[in-house]
Amino acid sequence: MRILSIETSCDETSLAIVAQNEAGFMVEKNLVSSQATIHAQYGGVVPEVAAREHAAWIFPLMQELEIPHDGKRIDAIAVTAGPGLVPALRIGVELGKVLAWSWHKPLVAVNHLEGHLYSVWLETPHPPVFPAVCLLVSGGHTELILMKNHGEYQLLGMTRDDAAGEAFDKVAKLLELPYPGGPMISKIALEGDSTMIDFPRPMFDSPNLDFSFSGLKTAVRLCVEEFQHQGTLDPSVRAGIAASFQQAVVDVLVHKTLKAVQQTHPKSVILSGGVSANRLLRETLREKLSMLHSDITFHSPPLAFTGDNAAMIGVAGLIKAKRKEFVDPLSLHADPNMSLTSL
Ligand code: KG4
Ligand code: ZN
């Protein structure tokens, strides 16, 4: 089975063709047009600008896929229906509806977060085994989810304020680094001493599996202001602040994930979402998990599939299509608050 998938929930316009065969979920094409440099001048994603860019890019990308005009070779269409920015989501949703209706193909509505979870099924002969504890860390979400089976999710914990990626982006702004901040923070952190500042680890010892990052962000702001006041915010201090901040975030994320593992006894652990590109996070979680629970398998997506992409939406779409979870192309709407656990 072969699916055409569409992703426009934030600032990446992406189309993919994913096929399922004996070897697993294979990406035949995955085109991503990023608007990051456009939004960088505003310091964050502007929904109307994102929608305009999606509208400008989606048809050139569609042409690049070289699908015959009658949609031959495509068995179904999957589109991200939420959560995300409504004006942005709508561009992809409307394209999905038009293609499904005119080609007479079944349409699948995919939750963007579900797409991130399924990114670890891409191009691997060894996908996760259920139940799986999933740490989903992106620009908009920080959640611990127990995936009991395909499509069966239980929310274990979530951030009470900022998402982990959002914290990276805001701290980058304080350090005058361009948007998106995550990759820049991790880059300059390589030159810094992660023990330079002992930033707080918010909710580290809380009895639940929730997170909070806004207090940490405030601590970084106060620290930056102090160095600015003294006139000593030089590159090595900035690298030290970045490394210390990154270490604090990683410590909390890894600690809470291991706590979720202790509580739920999964067979696999999944780390996905844009922040899963962070090397320190990947390596720390992988190492600690193998030290403490060598029987539990660890899965994180290939770097090309950590950020937003349509290939991951294709995998989720193929799994839903197999279960005939189709939607009516005439009545599908973008849902900015689409929840994973009420699917
Ligand atoms: O999943 P994603 O591409 O978009 C959303 O669904 O939000 O995640 C984007 C987020 C941004 O906040 C970005 O700064 C962060 O992922 N990110 C990183 C790294 N690469 C991207 N955060 C920390 N370290 C990285 N290497
Ligand atoms: Zn995302």
Strand partners of residue 42: none
Burial class (CB in 10 A: 0-12, 13-18, 19+), 226: exposed
Cα 297 to the center of its chain, rounded Å: 20
Q: 254 with 226, same domain?
A: yes
Please tell me the predicted confidence (pLDDT) of residue 281.
98
Q: Which atom of ligand 1 is nearest to the CA of 116?
A: 1
Whether the predicted pLDDT of 129 surpasses 50: yes
Region 71-91 average pLDDT? 97
CA distance 148 to 43: 38
CA distance 83 to 275: 17
Summary mean pLDDT of the chain: 96
Ligand 2 center from residue 196 Cα (angstroms):
31
Residue nearest to atom 22 of ligand 1 (CA): 182
Name the nearest CA neighbour of 305 among 3, 9, 14: 14
Ligand 1 near 186 CB (within 6 A): yes
Ligand 1 near 138 CB (within 6 A): yes
Residues of the chain above pLDDT 90, percent: 94
Q: 282 with 199, same domain?
A: yes
Q: 65 with 163, same domain?
A: no
Which residue pairs from 220-224 have beta carbons closer than 8 angstroms and sit at least 24 positions apart in sequence? Answer: 220/171, 220/174, 220/245, 221/174, 223/197, 223/199, 224/174, 224/175
Q: Identify which ligand lies nearest to the alpha carbon of 172.
A: 1
Mutation choice for ligand 1 from 111, 275, 280, 338, CB with most ligand atoms inside 8 A = 275
Q: Tokens for 309, please give them.
A: 């992409």
Domain limits for position 312: 2-118+305-322
Residue 338 lies in a domain: no
Region 24-48 average pLDDT? 93
Under 8 Å between Cβ of 220 and 203 = no
CA distance 158 to 135: 10
At 26, which CATH number?
3.30.420.40
Residues near 250 by Cβ (< 8 Å), separated by ≥ 6?
278, 280, 281, 284
Q: 169 with 64, same domain?
A: no
Q: Identify which ligand lies nearest to the alpha carbon of 283.
A: 1
Q: 132 with 263, same domain?
A: yes
Question: What is the phi/psi pair of residue 101, to 5°?
Answer: -70, -45
Q: How many CB atoms lie within 10 A of CB 285?
A: 22
CA distance 292 to 29: 38
CA distance 204 to 256: 7
Q: 293 with 159, same domain?
A: yes
179 pLDDT tier (thresholds 50, 70, 90):
confident
Determine the 3-state secondary structure of 68 from DSSP: coil
Q: Which atom of ligand 1 is nearest to the CA of 164?
A: 12
Residue 333 lies in a domain: no
Domain total for the chain? 2
The reply, when asked if residue 309 is annotated as ligand binding, is no
Whether the predicted pLDDT of 343 surpasses 50: no
Under 8 Å between Cβ of 298 and 332 = no
The reply, when asked if residue 129 is annotated as ligand binding, is no
163 pLDDT tier (thresholds 50, 70, 90):
very high
Please tell me the predicted confidence (pLDDT) of residue 342.
55
Whether the predicted pLDDT of 67 surpasses 70: yes
Ligand 1 near 278 CB (within 6 A): yes
Ligand 1 near 165 CB (within 6 A): yes
Ligand 1 near 275 CB (within 6 A): yes
Region 190-206 average pLDDT? 98
Determine the 3-state secondary structure of 32 from DSSP: strand
Condensed to tens digits (0 to 9), the pLDDT of residues 293-305 reads 999 999 999 999 9
Q: Identify which ligand lies nearest to the alpha carbon of 306.
A: 1
CA distance 76 to 24: 17
Q: 194 with 262, same domain?
A: yes
Q: Which residue has the tokens 């004006």?
A: 87
Q: 278 with 317, same domain?
A: no
Q: Which residue has the tokens 């990051």?
A: 36
Q: 220 with 279, same domain?
A: yes
Q: 158 with 295, same domain?
A: yes
Q: 228 with 285, same domain?
A: yes
87-140-114-248 Cα dihedral, nearest 10 degrees:
170
At position 1, the amino acid (one-letter code) is M
Please tell me the predicted confidence (pLDDT) of residue 278.
98
CA distance 216 to 228: 18
Q: 202 with 317, same domain?
A: no
Residue 328 lies in a domain: no
Task: For residue 303, give the DSSP letter.
Answer: G
In total, the chain counts a number of residues equal to: 343
